[in-house]
DNA sequence: CTTGGAAAGTCAACATGGCTGACATAATAT
DNA sequence: ATATTATGTCAGCCATGTTGACTTTCCAAG
């Protein structure tokens, strides 16, 4: 707690002096927090015979209804063969609807069905509950910092996606 | 940017009003940032025919030299069979030394060898570079918030471990 | 001193979800 | 007419998780 995370240079520049120790602690915090972050949805998914990959696909389809497969591939960062396995089971099970594009008939636009949306809600409810609790405990200033650091950590391409999603869904 | 992350209640209580949208954004930020967070070490590990599991084991052995297998299992949250596969290759390849306990001869205390420490350094250097850049970009206040939120998100058991590691390694 | 249980290692079998490579189909774009 | 793009699919491989069963070693308590 008394551990200094950084200091302003006397000259006035806002440089940070970060020890290896401080950065290692940050890495561990990411590791443990991410484990907790995925634990709740994972427990739910077991009941449905789905995995984390299904959750991610469902999440982004909920987020951008009508996105095409290529966009989803870029968001998830996996190969199309890998995604296809997941997406096929979701379509077969009636959780996702794939509609042929009107302008470009090669594209499939992806949507959640009623039951797909229901599962998405169940999963994200569980995940949001944990995040809400953490946000409340840490307070608004901490939350703003949390998001700033995460955003700064992202690869530029994904940061673009991340911000597009904000802009596209106000 | 103009998105409110929370407000203080007029009454004075520090409650946060968090929309689903804000929490979903947080989840996405976690997802994208974690991808970036693991990407650099993953690239390096490919050259050595190791995976992320090896990195995690090496990380915690570096962190607490001499820990026993049970402790490492609890930190990593995997089964002993799963860990054993990873640990065996690391021992066989001479990156990790397993020394029989003096008091309790059933226990094996794990240490990094010279070459193990070298690989750990290479991996964590890459990871720390990204974190350092993100920390610098976001600033000290943001970093403090980042850590607060991550800590609040952890499962209580893992938070205990997380804080023990701080206390044990001042 | 015996015995129960803990720490660790191992074998086998299986599931998930990554990957590559090759190929097919349909439709757009040149 | 042809090249390219978007998608889907098959086959196979790998890393890493799982459960279950079993052994060895050894500490500790009866």
The string of pLDDT tens digits covering residues B125-163 is: 999 999 999 999 999 999 999 999 999 999 999 999 999
Q: Considering the domain boundaries, does residue B3 fall inside one?
A: no
Contact B97, B91 (CB under 8 A): yes
* Rounded distance in angstroms from the CA atom of residue B96 to the C1' atom of nucleotide C9: 16
The whole-angstrom distance between residue B88's C-alpha and the CA centroid of its chain comes to 21
Q: Considering the domain boundaries, does residue B159 fall inside one?
A: no
**Separation CA B14–CA B11 (nearest Å):** 9
Contact A120, A62 (CB under 8 A): yes
Q: Considering the domain boundaries, does residue A5 fall inside one?
A: no
> What mean pLDDT is predicted for residues B4-23?
62
Instruction: Give the contacts of A76 (CB within 8 A, at least 6 positions apart).
Output: A56, A57, A60, A83
Average pLDDT, chain B: 89
Alpha helix segments (H runs only) across chain B:
20-48, 52-63, 69-76, 80-92, 114-138, 140-153, 156-168
**Separation CA B59–CA B160 (nearest Å):** 18
* Rounded distance in angstroms from the CA atom of residue A51 to the C1' atom of nucleotide C3: 45
**Separation CA B4–CA A140 (nearest Å):** 9
> Which region among A20-24, B28-32, B75-79, B119-123 has the lowest average model confidence (pLDDT)?
A20-24
Shortest alpha-carbon distance between residue B110 and chain A (Å): 19
> What mean pLDDT is predicted for residues B4-32?
73
Task: Give the one of B30, B127, B149 whose C-beta lies nearest to A138's C-beta.
Answer: B149
- Name the residue among A97, A124, A130 with its Cα closest to residue A112: A97
- Read off the pLDDT band of A101 (50, 70, 90): confident
pTM (2 decimals)?
Answer: 0.89
In our burial notation (b when 16+ CB lie closer than 10 A, e otherwise), range B76-110 reads: bbbeeeebeebbebbbebebbbbeeeeeeeebbbb
Strand D contact with A98 (CB < 7 A):
yes
Contact A154, B25 (CB under 8 A): no
> What mean pLDDT is predicted for residues B110-122?
97
| DSSP-derived 3-state class of residue A67 | strand
CATH of the domain at A67: 1.10.10.10
pLDDT of residue B169: 53
Contact A146, B152 (CB under 8 A): no
**Separation CA B37–CA B138 (nearest Å):** 16
Total domains present in chain B: 1
pLDDT of residue B2: 46
Best A28, A57, A65 residue to mutate vs chain B (most B CBs within 10 Å): A28
Q: Considering the domain boundaries, does residue A76 fall inside one?
A: yes
Q: Considering the domain boundaries, does residue B162 fall inside one?
A: no
pLDDT of residue A18: 86
Strand C nucleotides with an atom less than 7 Å from a protein beta carbon: 6-13, 16-22, 26-29
pLDDT of residue B168: 60
The reply to whether residue A128 touches residue B30, judged by beta carbons under 8 angstroms, is no
Give the residue whose CA sits closest to D24 at C1'.
Answer: B106
- Name the residue among B89, A59, B134 with its Cα closest to residue B147: B134
Q: Considering the domain boundaries, does residue B69 fall inside one?
A: yes
**Separation CA A159–CA B109 (nearest Å):** 42
Which residue does chain B place closest to A40, by CA atoms? B155
Establish how many alpha carbons lie within 13 A of residue B14's alpha carbon, considering only the half-sphere containing its beta carbon.
8
List the domain range (segments joined by +) for residue B27. 20-138
Q: Considering the domain boundaries, does residue A7 fall inside one?
A: no
The yes-or-no verdict on residue B102 having pLDDT over 90 is no
Q: Considering the domain boundaries, does residue B145 fall inside one?
A: no
């Amino acid at each position: 707690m008394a551990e200094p995370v950084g200091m302003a240079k006397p000259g006035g520049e806002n440089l940070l002096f970060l020890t290896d120790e401080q950065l290692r602690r940050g890495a561990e915090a990411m590791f443990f927090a991410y484990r907790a972050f995925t634990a709740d949805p994972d427990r739910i998914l077991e009941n449905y015979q789905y995995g984390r990959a299904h959750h991610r696909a469902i999440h982004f389809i909920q987020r951008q209804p009508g996105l095409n497969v290529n966009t989803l591939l870029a968001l998830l960062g996996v190969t199309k063969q890998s995604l296809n396995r997941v997406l096929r089971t979701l379509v077969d099970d009636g959780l996702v609807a794939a509609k042929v594009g009107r302008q470009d008939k090669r594209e499939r636009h992806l949507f959640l069905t009623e039951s797909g949306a229901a599962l998405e809600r169940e999963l994200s409810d569980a995940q949001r509950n944990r995040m809400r609790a953490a946000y409340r405990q840490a307070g608004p200033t901490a939350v703003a910092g949390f998001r700033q650091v995460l955003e700064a950590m992202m690869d530029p391409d994904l940061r673009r996606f991340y911000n597009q999603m904000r802009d596209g869904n106000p």
